[in-house]
Structure formats: C-alpha cells, structure tokens
C-alpha cells in the first residue's frame, strides 16, 4: 500500500489511544530515572494533537505533520515535546508536495525526522535515549528496502528492531537528561523515550499494511 493523508491521520489519532493506554506504564518507567511525566506528557500532547486535527483538518501530508509538530511543541513539557515536535516538523520537509508515500518515502520521512531529534538532543547510540530505538529501527528499514520488501515488511522489521533497541537500553548508564544525574543507578531501567518510540513504530506497522 501507499500511505495517504488519511492513513497518516489515522496513525496519529491511533497514537493518542496508544499513549493513553500506556500512560501509566511510561510514567512508571520515567519515575525510575526521570521526572515521572513522560506518559502524562505523551498522552497530553497527542490528545491535543487529535483535537487539533479534528478541529482544523490539514489539506495534505506535510501539513498534517506540521500541525502535529506545532501542537506538541506548544502543549508538551519536558524533553519529549521539543524532541517529538522537532521530529514531526523535520519529517514534514521530506514529504512536501507528496500525495502518497511509498515504502522509500515513509523511511525517508522517518529518517529526516530522526535527524531533527539528533540535532536537537545531541544524543548518540548508547546514551540510553530514544536514539537507541530509532537507530536500529532505521537500519532495519533501510536493509528491508534494499531487499525490495513491501511497506508492511519494512515497517515490521523497523518495529522489531526498535523493540530490541528499547530492551537494550535496560543495562545502559544514562548519559543525557535527568537520568544522567543518577549515574550507575540509571542501569537496570528501560528508557521511556525509547519505549514511546517503539510504540509509535509498532502502530505504524500495524496500520500501514
């Protein structure tokens, strides 16, 4: 399949339900090494996004992503608002003028958005952040693309790699954000940002097939 504007909106609106259902889980993860607000912030942000998309429906794919970005930046505190807001804003630049997204365009959208996360957060693989989920996910998606895989297969490979990357944050010592203040005590806990990233990619794989 190709991802249309409506498919994109359906994914964004489904994320609101995902983060609502996982609000307590994400907050529990964040309580161990952060401010205990990641689940609350993600739910608040995507609830506001859903309301905005329903009240002011964007005309095209790029506009949908820009609307998501600006709403998250305005409504979400902590690190997740600026990081995810930058992700969606940067992603919109990769799809300008496109009416549908094939597998390569979807991966390009994610890659371009991820470049915004890197620029904004300055994190690297191994720092115990969402980068540890995004990096293997994009590598797996590109490998699948090179094998002429379908969009469904590309996204499933990416989601599986993101899940593994998320789990791989557990033994790491945090080097960014509030979690870094804990030093050795940050080990043994799963990173909440990597977890919300994994949930995001899992939902894309589920819907865009």
Residues contacting 46, CB < 8 A, separation 6+: 12, 15, 16, 19, 20, 72
Q: Which residues of the chain have pLDDT under 70?
A: 176, 178-182
Q: What is the pTM of this model?
A: 0.95
Per-residue pLDDT tens over the stretch 142-194:
999 999 999 999 999 999 999 999 999 999 988 867 666 567 777 999 999 99
Distance of CA 129 to the CA centre of its chain: 12
* Exposure class string for 88-117: b at 16+ Cβ within 10 A, else e: bbbbbebbeebeebbbebbbbbbbbbbbbb
Fold of 3-207: 1.25.40
Per-residue pLDDT tens over the stretch 169-179:
999 988 867 66
């Amino acid at each position: 399949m190709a991802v249309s504007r409506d498919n994109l909106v359906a994914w964004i609106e489904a994320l609101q339900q995902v983060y609502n259902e996982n609000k307590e889980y994400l907050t529990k993860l964040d309580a161990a090494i952060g401010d205990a607000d990641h689940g609350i912030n993600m739910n608040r942000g995507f609830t506001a996004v859903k309301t905005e998309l329903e009240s002011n429906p964007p005309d095209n794919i790029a506009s949908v992503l820009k609307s998501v970005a600006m709403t998250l930046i305005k409504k979400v505190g902590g690190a997740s608002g600026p990081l995810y807001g930058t992700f969606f804003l940067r992603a919109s630049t990769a799809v300008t003028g496109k009416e549908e997204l094939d597998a390569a365009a979807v991966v390009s959208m994610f890659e371009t958005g991820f470049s915004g996360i890197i620029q904004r957060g300055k994190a690297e693989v191994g720092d115990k952040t969402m980068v540890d989920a995004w990096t293997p996910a994009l590598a797996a998606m590109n490998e699948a693309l090179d094998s002429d895989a379908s969009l469904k297969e590309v996204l499933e490979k990416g989601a599986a790699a993101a899940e593994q990357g998320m789990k791989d944050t557990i033994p790491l010592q945090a080097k960014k954000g509030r979690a870094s203040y804990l030093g050795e005590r940050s080990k043994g806990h799963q990173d909440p940002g990597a977890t919300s990233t994994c949930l995001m990619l899992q939902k894309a794989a589920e819907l865009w097939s």
